[in-house]
């Protein structure tokens, strides 16, 4: 799909479709008012007849409006004008894209970027429109032999900005939006890949391809089981030893700041490409979805792709901790005691609490980079979903300023996070009779004790 920006009057657009907003109750946006005046009140007459109230998600497609060059006008309900915030703006864009795609509008000029969104400028509105459009049209159909596509899909979207002075920032917003959207798509594609294709070796191949594509700034190193053994990463290795697929840790280094004082930000992603639970095997219902246990690594890969595409002036290291947790004759067992890379010992009480066993060794490994910050992303425990549901991510941190920045970023992006405590009192639940600690601490505060284990 192609995106561009322009600045022009709505009545002069020779597009297949013009998109404008309508507020509740039946209030035309400024651009819609211009079109109404040009058409001698055609649009307002329709609203008076009750064709559209302006509620969020409502649409009305008009054909051959008098005195308007565009073939069609799409009216989109935007809710109450004073309540149009980031979340509602994205929903309006999403509805717009779906409607255009379903009604055969192969190209459109969108004036929704001229709506007032509290606290947001035109750069943000254009960038969010691009990101939302790409996300709305996303589908994973690479493995289908018969792909279902709209007969006349949306192929070109032009965003209108109020003045020509804002064209440059609008073009930059499109560039940034496409880079971010590409990173999100890459993460989703990895997550959706079936586990017989996407194993640790596949993650490693994607990491290497990233270095090939951005060779100026990106270097990838893949660490296999033999090198892990030499490093003392016995906890990580234990998780994957029941699988025939080799465990591989992919280290992607992006260098955008050549200063010797520029310490890197390290991102660590849990990459369990399939988690059966191991000997402590999971119930069969829903086990197919355990291919998603590598979405932490997928997210880190997507971020690294985006950082490289935007050529950000920072140094970032992304680690994809790939392996597979399977039962088998060589699988690790409940009751085993493992020695981690840090030298601490862990008693395995449940082999399905495997993510922390992988990540603890990776977190020790990345200390060699002397990072400015380490951010670990993982589908670490179902207890977090029990606590917060499916809409908010749990966040635990031992550095308050970084935690506050991440919470603020989550609010800005719409991908919200909520901070959970990391108190010493929770550590007592991890006490073991046979090792320095156990790998689980019981049901109470299960997400928190998982974080405490890694802290």
Domain presence at residue 185? no
Domain presence at residue 46? yes
- Residue in the structure block whose two tokens are 């990072």: 371
- Read off the pLDDT band of 84 (50, 70, 90): very high
Say if CB 218 and CB 211 are below 8 A apart: yes
Residues 247-262: tens digit of each pLDDT: 999 999 999 998 988 9
Domain presence at residue 410? no
Which CATH number goes with the domain that contains 91? 3.40.220.10
* pLDDT at residue 184 tops 90: yes
* pLDDT at residue 61 tops 80: yes
Q: 197, 238, 203, 236: which is closest to 222 by C-alpha? A: 203
Which CATH number goes with the domain that contains 223? 3.40.630.10
- Residue in the structure block whose two tokens are 């309508």: 22
Q: State how many domains the chain has.
A: 2
Residues 214 and 174 in one domain: no
* pLDDT at residue 423 tops 90: no
Q: 93, 44, 92, 34: which is closest to 67 by C-alpha? A: 34
At 437 the pLDDT is: 96
Domain presence at residue 34? yes
**Distant-in-sequence, close-in-space partners of 171: CB < 8 Å, separation ≥ 6:** 4, 5
Q: What is the mean pLDDT of residues 424-448?
A: 93
The length of the chain, given as a count of residues: 455
Q: 83, 82, 26, 84: which is closest to 52 by C-alpha? A: 26
419 has which bridge partners? 395
At 16 the pLDDT is: 85
Angle at 128 between CA 126 and CA 131, to 5 degrees: 110
Residues 93-123: tens digit of each pLDDT: 999 999 999 998 899 999 999 899 988 999 9
Mapped onto helix, strand or coil, the DSSP state of residue 59 is strand
> What one-character DSSP code corresponds to residue 314?
S
Residues 223 and 289 in one domain: yes
Q: What is the mean pLDDT of residues 409-421?
A: 93
**Distant-in-sequence, close-in-space partners of 238: CB < 8 Å, separation ≥ 6:** 332, 336, 338, 348, 357
Residues 204 and 102 in one domain: no
Q: How far apart are CA 454 and CA 301, in angstroms?
A: 22
Residue 86 tokens read as 């980031």
Residues 86 and 171 in one domain: yes
At 214 the pLDDT is: 97
* pLDDT at residue 333 tops 90: yes
* pLDDT at residue 357 tops 90: yes
* Number of CB atoms found within 10 A of residue 391's CB: 9
Q: Where is the domain boundary, 344, 360, 380?
A: 380
Q: Where is the domain boundary, 331, 356, 380?
A: 380
Residues 172 and 94 in one domain: yes
Residues 259 and 130 in one domain: no
Domain presence at residue 163? yes
Residues 161 and 104 in one domain: yes
Residues 356 and 240 in one domain: yes
Q: How far apart are CA 204 and CA 248, in angstroms?
A: 7
* pLDDT at residue 146 tops 90: no
Residues 346 and 208 in one domain: yes
- Read off the pLDDT band of 8 (50, 70, 90): confident
Q: Where is the domain boundary, 362, 380, 398?
A: 380
Domain presence at residue 317? yes
At 381 the pLDDT is: 84
Domain presence at residue 334? yes
At 341 the pLDDT is: 98
Q: What is the mean pLDDT of residues 182-196?
A: 98
Say if CB 271 and CB 321 are below 8 A apart: yes
- Residue in the structure block whose two tokens are 């049209």: 137
* pLDDT at residue 151 tops 80: no
Residues 13 and 156 in one domain: yes
Residue 120 tokens read as 């947001």
105-119, 149-163, 335-349: segment of lowest average pLDDT: 149-163
- Read off the pLDDT band of 199 (50, 70, 90): very high
Residues 87 and 202 in one domain: no
- Residue in the structure block whose two tokens are 């594509």: 213
**Distant-in-sequence, close-in-space partners of 317: CB < 8 Å, separation ≥ 6:** 251, 252, 253, 254, 264, 265, 266, 267, 366, 369, 371
* Number of CB atoms found within 10 A of residue 314's CB: 14
Residues 251 and 346 in one domain: yes
At 27 the pLDDT is: 94
What's the chain's average pLDDT? 95
Residues taking part in catalysis: 282, 356
* pLDDT at residue 152 tops 90: no
Domain interval for residue 230:
195-380
Q: 73, 103, 59: which is closest to 13 by C-alpha? A: 73
Residue 163 tokens read as 């003045």
Domain presence at residue 391? no
**Distant-in-sequence, close-in-space partners of 151: CB < 8 Å, separation ≥ 6:** 104
* SS3 letters across 84-130: CCHHHHHHHHHHHHHHHHHCCCCEEEECHHHCCCCCCCHHHHHHHHH
């Amino acid at each position: 799909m192609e995106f561009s920006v322009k600045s022009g009057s709505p009545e002069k657009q020779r597009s297949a479709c013009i998109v404008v907003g309508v507020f509740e109750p039946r209030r035309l946006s400024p651009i819609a008012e211009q079109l109404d005046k040009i058409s001698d009140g055609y649009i307002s007459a329709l609203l008076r007849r009750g064709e559209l109230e302006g509620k969020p998600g409502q649409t009305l497609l008009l054909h051959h409006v008098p005195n308007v060059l565009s073939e069609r006008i799409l009216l989109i309900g935007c809710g109450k004008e004073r309540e149009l915030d980031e979340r509602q703006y994205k929903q309006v864009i999403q509805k717009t894209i779906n409607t255009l795609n379903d009604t055969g509008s192969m190209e459109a000029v969108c004036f929704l970027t001229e709506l007032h969104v509290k606290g947001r400028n035109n750069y943000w509105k254009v960038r969010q429109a691009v990101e939302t459009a790409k996300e709305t049209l996303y589908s994973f159909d690479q493995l289908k032999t018969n792909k279902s596509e709209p007969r006349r899909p949306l192929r070109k979207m032009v965003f209108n900005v109020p003045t020509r002075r804002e064209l440059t920032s609008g073009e930059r917003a499109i560039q940034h939006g496409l880079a971010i959207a590409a990173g999100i798509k890459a993460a989703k594609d990895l997550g959706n890949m079936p586990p017989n294709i996407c194993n640790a070796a596949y993650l490693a191949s994607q990491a290497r391809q990233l270095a090939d594509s951005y060779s100026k700034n990106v270097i990838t190193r893949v660490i296999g089981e033999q090198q892990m053994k030499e490093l003392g990463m016995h906890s990580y290795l234990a998780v994957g030893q029941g699988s025939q697929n080799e465990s591989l840790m992919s280290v992607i280094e992006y260098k955008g700041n050549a200063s010797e004082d520029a310490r890197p930000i390290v991102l660590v992603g849990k990459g369990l490409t399939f988690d059966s639970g191991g000997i402590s095997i999971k119930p069969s219902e829903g086990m197919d979805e355990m291919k998603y246990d590598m979405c932490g690594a997928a997210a880190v890969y997507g971020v690294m792709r985006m950082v490289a595409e935007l050529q950000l002036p920072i140094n970032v290291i992304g680690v994809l901790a790939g392996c597979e947790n399977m039962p088998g004759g060589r699988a690790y067992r409940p009751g085993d005691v493992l020695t981690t890379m840090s030298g601490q010992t862990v008693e395995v009480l449940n082999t399905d609490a495997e993510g922390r066993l992988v990540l603890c060794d990776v977190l020790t490994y990345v200390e060699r980079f002397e990072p400015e910050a380490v951010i670990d992303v993982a589908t670490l425990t179902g207890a977090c979903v029990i606590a917060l549901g499916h809409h908010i991510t749990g966040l635990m941190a031992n550095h308050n300023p970084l935690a506050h920045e991440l919470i603020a970023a989550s609010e800005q992006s719409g991908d919200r996070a909520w901070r959970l405590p990391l108190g010493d009192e929770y550590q007592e639940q991890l006490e073991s009779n046979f090792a320095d600690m156990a790998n689980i601490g019981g049901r109470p505060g299960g997400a928190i004790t998982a974080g405490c284990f890694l802290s």
